[in-house]
């Protein structure tokens, strides 16, 4: 039979910790109504198909590569690095190893497998993999991702409820794991941030690559921005729509983008300190994101002034 094709059966000792994460991940992967049983078990509202497509295909693809990759697209070195965790364990990575559902399923698998290890060394090895998965491949982008999802979804929507619960679950995982003392590789070796005087193409490249700009801008965000600035929103990829907005009203569009960047800077800063004012989990990571968003905001603010003068 094919190794690795079976999902591990839940064990009594884990108190549902791993199944919870796997079930939350499955909601991003499964097309409704296949996700209904998981939603029901979790007490979450069921998704309509159009909602699922809108969130996970069109607006906020749940892939690490979209938020950590230099081009802001699916695949590439970020996805390959995620696949490396599978390979390091002797597993064949799935087609999209950086998909949130895949990452959570592997995380849950590692947690369950740790409980079955016969030796301490084996358990430590799996624990190490799980820690790498958490801090390198999940925590580096998930808090921002879930924040964006929460912000762009109606309060009682399935997406909002799912994002809230997953965020809580991940915070628990982060609180149980020793945070890294140095930046994860995907951030430490991230592409350069926005330059002081970018060309239009460079600007668009930066704005549509979260790891370069420090913030997430969705098509839904752009829709709101177009309304606010008073420009037409052309249908197409975000880069295309954004270019059109900048061509119609550079000053207004840049100002909105600068505000958006400041909003994200504050979100990152808030996340880097816990609710009680102490440093939150993974503070070093959130701090990095905050600095990047702040730098982008500063550049955009300067450009907006220039844009208005034109």
Binding site for other proteins (CB under 8 A): 1-2, 4-7, 10, 13-20, 22-23, 25-26, 29-31, 34-35, 37-38, 40-43, 49, 52-53, 57-58, 91-94, 101-102, 105-106, 109, 111, 114-120, 122-124, 126-128, 130-131, 165, 168-169, 172, 175-178
Please, which residue, 28 or 293, has the CB nearer to other proteins?
28
CB of 128 to other proteins, least distance (A): 6
Residue 19 corresponds to which tokens in the numbers above? 């199944």
Asked if residue 133 lies in contact with residue 106, where contact means CB atoms within 8 angstroms, the answer is: yes
Please, which residue, 25 or 158, has the CB nearer to other proteins?
25
Coil, strand, or helix at residue 279?
strand
CB of 193 to other proteins, least distance (A): 31
CB of 166 to other proteins, least distance (A): 11
Please, which residue, 120 or 310, has the CB nearer to other proteins?
120
CB of 150 to other proteins, least distance (A): 18
CB of 42 to other proteins, least distance (A): 6
Please, which residue, 2 or 192, has the CB nearer to other proteins?
2
Whole-number Cα distances in Å, 186 to 64, 71, 106, 191, 196: 10, 13, 19, 9, 23
Coil, strand, or helix at residue 63?
strand
- For residues 242-273, one letter each, b for 16 or more C-beta atoms within 10 angstroms of the residue's C-beta and e for the rest, the string is bbbbbebbbbbbbbbbbbbbbebbebbbebbe
How many angstroms separate the CA atoms of 215 and 209, rounded? 8
């Amino acid at each position: 039979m094919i190794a690795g094709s079976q999902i591990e059966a839940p064990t009594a000792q884990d108190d549902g910790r791993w199944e919870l994460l796997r079930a939350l991940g499955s909601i991003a992967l499964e097309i409704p109504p296949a996700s209904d049983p998981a939603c029901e078990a979790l007490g979450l509202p069921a998704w309509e198909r159009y909602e699922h497509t809108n969130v996970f295909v069109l607006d906020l693809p749940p892939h690490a590569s979209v938020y950590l990759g230099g081009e802001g697209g699916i695949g590439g070195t970020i996805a390959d690095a995620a696949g490396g965790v599978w390979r390091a364990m002797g597993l064949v990575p799935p087609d999209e190893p950086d998909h949130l559902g895949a990452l959570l399923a592997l995380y849950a698998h590692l947690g369950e497998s740790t409980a079955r290890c016969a030796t301490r060394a084996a358990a430590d090895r799996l624990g190490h993999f799980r820690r790498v998965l958490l801090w390198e491949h999940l925590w580096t982008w998930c808090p921002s991702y879930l924040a964006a999802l929460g912000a762009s979804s109606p309060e009682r929507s399935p997406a909002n409820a799912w994002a809230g619960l997953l965020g809580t679950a991940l915070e628990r995982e982060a609180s149980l794991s020793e945070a890294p003392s140095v930046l994860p590789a995907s951030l430490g070796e991230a592409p350069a941030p926005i330059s002081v005087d970018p060309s239009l193409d460079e600007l668009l490249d930066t704005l549509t690559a979260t790891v370069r700009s420090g913030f997430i801008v969705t098509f839904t965000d752009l829709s709101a921005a177009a309304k606010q600035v008073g420009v037409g929103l052309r249908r197409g990829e975000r880069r295309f729509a954004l270019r059109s907005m900048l061509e119609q009203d550079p000053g207004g569009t840049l100002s909105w983008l600068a505000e958006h960047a400041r909003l994200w800077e504050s979100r990152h800063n808030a996340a880097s300190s816990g609710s009680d004012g102490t440093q939150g989990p993974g503070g070093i990571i959130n701090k990095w994101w905050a600095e990047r968003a702040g730098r982008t905001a500063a550049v955009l603010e300067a450009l907006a002034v220039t844009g208005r003068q034109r």
